[in-house]
Amino acid sequence: MRMVSLYSIKGGVGKTASAVNLAAEAANMGLRVLLWDLDPQAATTFYLQVKPRIRGGVEKLVKGKSAWEKVIRTTALDNLDLLPASLASREMDHLLEKRGTSHLRQMLKEVRKEYDLVVLDCPPTLSHLSENMFTSVDALLVPVVPTTLSLRTLEQLQQFLDDQDLACPLWPFVTLADRRRSMHLEVMEELGNDWPLRLSTVIPAASVVERMGLERAPLCEFAPSTPASKAYAALWQEVEQRLRP
């Protein structure tokens, strides 16, 4: 079982849209995918038309006492299951403070053989939850809007990982890009020069991505021929190639 996280310490960069679309693309390729919504805002849960509720509560889930068949929910997409979030998910940070490293991966021990891929959608914070996530995943997929501030937060994230001696691969990729804007082009070039592990696929700024909130579905379900949907398909192919053993 491989595990990746969509994560950024900056909000508004397309993290949740990327998590949903990449998980859907992986499921369409036949992988058994679990998408775990760890953000109390539960946007991923909303997109996939699942009630924002953790059956049995967050504490029971963290302690490994939940019945997984009741906690994990199926979605309208074949091969894609969801572990939903709710406002109560904010308790997870405090509960994980008392646990060892890599506990998020350990929590999934009982269902490890049931999934090929786990995708985490994490809140945009540096916390006990994120630190536990850093030691659980195989890679951090970091969406970066091509602006100076977004690039700065990427550098801050790498600095934090270095300071904490956390060997977590960081794979940035560009989202919300507008190639008509000179600053976007400059930042994309800088990202390519300074970040050798950058994923090359660029996700364009597109109104169809905003429609996910209305359609409550990934792009491949309601707008498969759009450039944004095709970009996410290409991005998943890149990620999948890197994750191969």
pLDDT at 65 > cutoff 90? no
Residue 98 has pLDDT above 80, yes or no: no
Distance CA 115, CA 81 (A): 9
Residue 145 pLDDT class (50, 70, 90 cuts): very high
Lowest mean pLDDT among 5-14, 21-30, 41-50, 186-195: 186-195
Is the per-residue pLDDT at 155 higher than 90?
Answer: yes
How sure is the predictor about 193, in pLDDT bands with cuts at 50, 70 and 90?
A: confident
**Domain 2-142+207-232: assigned CATH number:** 3.40.50.300
pLDDT of residue 100: 74
Q: Model-level pTM greater than 0.85?
A: yes
Domain parsing of the chain, residue ranges: 2-142+207-232
Q: What is the reported pLDDT for 192? A: 83
For residue 68, is pLDDT > 90?
no
User: Sheet holding 139-144: strands in order across?
Assistant: 73-74, 80-83, 33-37, 117-121, 2-6, 139-144, 170-177, 202-204
**What residues contact 35, with CB distance under 8 A and at least 6 apart?**
19, 20, 23, 44, 48, 80, 81, 82, 83, 118, 119, 121
* Highest mean pLDDT pick, 16-30, 90-104, 175-189: 16-30
Average pLDDT over the chain reads 94
